[in-house]
Structure 1
Amino acid sequence: MVEEIKASWDTNAFFTPDVIDDIHIKSQLGRYRMRGMALIKKNSNI
């Protein structure tokens, strides 16, 4: 099963294997880059 999942990652149409590896490494470290300042917003008081 793990081999099937890994094989699907290797043939991703959007990301290269290098990008996928980078995502996995950063997820294991708990760090990743957030692009843009639109992600930093106050919560609305609805």
Structure 2
Amino acid sequence: PSPLLANKNPNQKPTRKNTRTRPHTHQPNRHENPKKISLSLKSKKPN
């Protein structure tokens, strides 16, 4: 009953809120993600 409630609750209510927060965090996250990945790759390569 736990997964069902969590799935039904966030899927029905946060569905709208998630869509708003998703694109908002996706934009800044994408910018920081590639930067961190580049640093990780550069650090791993020479390492």
Q: Do they fold alike, i.e. is TM over 0.5?
A: no
| TM-score bucket (shorter structure) | 0.3 to 0.5
Q: TM-score, normalised by structure 2?
A: 0.32
Structure (1/2) with the larger helix percentage? 2
Larger radius of gyration: 2
* Alignment TM-score, normalising by the size of structure 1: 0.32
